[in-house]
A and B are shown apart, each in its own frame.
Chain A
Amino acid sequence: MNLLDFALGIAAAFLAEELFGWVDRLGQWLVCRAARKLPEEQARRYEQEWRQEFSSLPKFSRLVFAVDLQRAAFVMNHQMTLPHVSIFIAALVRLIDIVGAVLLILVTFPMLALGVIGLKTQRGVRSPVIERLERVGYMGRRFSLLKLMVSDPSVSLRSGERPRIRGLAWLVYLARIDELPTTLNVLRGDMSFVGPRPESPEFARLLAEHFPEYSERQRVRPGITGLAQVRQPYAGTLALARRKLEYDLEFVTSFGVWRYVSIFLETVWIVLVHRR
C-alpha cells in the first residue's frame, strides 16, 4: 500500500464517519418530529420509545425507520380521529393540501415579497412583519398561525382600542396578502385548506364550556375556509356559534375528497361573485 492509498483510506473513513453523523442527526430529528405529531399525552411516550428503538438499529436502517415513522404518526392519528374514513381518503386530502400549498407559495411568492418590502419600507427594516397567533388545532394541539402584521406593533393602544391599519399595510390587508403566510401552516400540517376555523385558546376554552361536543371538531385539521364559514359567516351570539359548530361537526362526519372540493369551490364562488 502506498502513501496515496493510505491517505484515501483515511479520507474515506473520515467522510463515512461524518456522513453517518449527519444521517444520525437527521434521523433523530425525524423521530422527534413524528412523535410530536401525536396527541400531547402520547407524544412523550412514543418519542422515548422510538428514540430507543432508533439507537438500537444498525446504522444503515436508522434513516428508513425514522422516515417511515412519519407514516406511522399519520396512521395512528387517523385511527384515533377519523376511524370511519378510509386512510387513503385522508392521505389524498393531505396530498392535495401539500401540492396546493407548494403551488400557491410558488405563485404568490412575488406578492408576498412585495407585501413584506412594503411593510418594511413603511416601518423600518428591523420592524417585525410576521405575526404568530396562537391557535388550537388538530387534536387540540397548539400551533402558531402565521400572518403578515398589518397593524403597526410600535403603536401603543389604549385599552379597548382597535389597532389601525395605515398606508401600504392597508393595501396588503385589502389584497389579503397578509393571509398568504398561512399557506406555510398548511404545508407544515398544522392546517388544511378546508376545515373548521382555528380558534384562539381562550375562545376555544369558552366555547368548550358551552358546548361539550366542541372538541369533536378537532378530529380534522383546522382550515383556511370551511363549511361553517361558507354557510354561516358570522357568529355573534351563542345560538349562531352553536349553528357554526353543527356545520363543523357535519364536516367531520362527512369528511371526504368531494366534501373538501365542494367547500373549496363554494369559497371561490363566494369570494369572486359575492365579494364576501
Chain B
Amino acid sequence: MGRGKTDGEPRITHQSLKVLSAFVSDPYRELAGADLFRVTKLASGTLYPILARLEQARWLRSKWENIDSADAGRPQRRYYRITPTGLARASALLAEISRGLRA
C-alpha cells in the first residue's frame, strides 16, 4: 500500500508553523518530543501527526539518541532535527508570513 506523499509539500497549518519555528530558531539543535511540548504548547495528538508529516516530506529527520540505556538508566530518546530542505522551505514560509503581517 502506498503511504501517501513523500518529498512533496506537507500541509502547513498554524500549528505546524509553531513546530517549524522551534526548529528554525536554532537549526542545529536536536529536539525531543518533551522539548517540543514545552516550546510549542501543542498536545500529543496534534504534535506527533505534524512531526510525522514533516518527516515524511523530508523537512525533518529523526534518530535515536546515542546512549546506552543501561548506563543512562533511562530509555533512548528520539531526537528530531530540521533538514537543509526543511530549513530553506520553512524559513521562506516564515519570512513570507512575517512580510504579510508587516504589510
Contacts and interface: CB of A to CB of B under 8 A. Distances in A.
Interface stretch (B19-27, B42-50, B84-92): B42-50
B49 A70 contact: no
Interface string A75-109: 11001110100000000000000000000000000
Interface in B1-23: 1-5
Contact of B45 (A48, A53, A55, A70): A70
Q: For the side of the interface on B, what is the size category?
A: 20 to 34
Interface residues of A, number: 32
Contacts, number: 72
Contacts of A64: 43
A69 B78 CA distance: 16
B5 A215 contact: no
Interface in A11-59: 39, 45-46, 48-53, 55-57
B71 to A, nearest CB: 16
Contacts of A69: 44-45, 48
B9 to A, nearest CB: 12
Interface string A214-240: 011011000000000000000000000
Interface in A246-276: none
Contacts of B2: 216
Contact of B74 (A39, A50, A52): A52
Interface of A: 39, 45-46, 48-53, 55-57, 64-66, 68-72, 75-76, 79-81, 83, 139-140, 215-216, 218-219
Given A52-B77, A81-B1, 9 more contacts: A45-B78, A49-B77, A50-B44, A53-B77, A65-B44, A75-B45, A79-B49, A83-B5, A218-B1
25 contacts: A39-B3, A52-B74, A52-B75, A53-B33, A56-B77, A68-B45, A68-B46, A69-B44, A69-B45, A70-B45, A71-B45, A72-B47, A75-B45, A75-B49, A76-B48, A76-B49, A76-B52, A79-B49, A79-B56, A80-B4, A81-B1, A81-B4, A83-B5, A216-B1, A216-B2
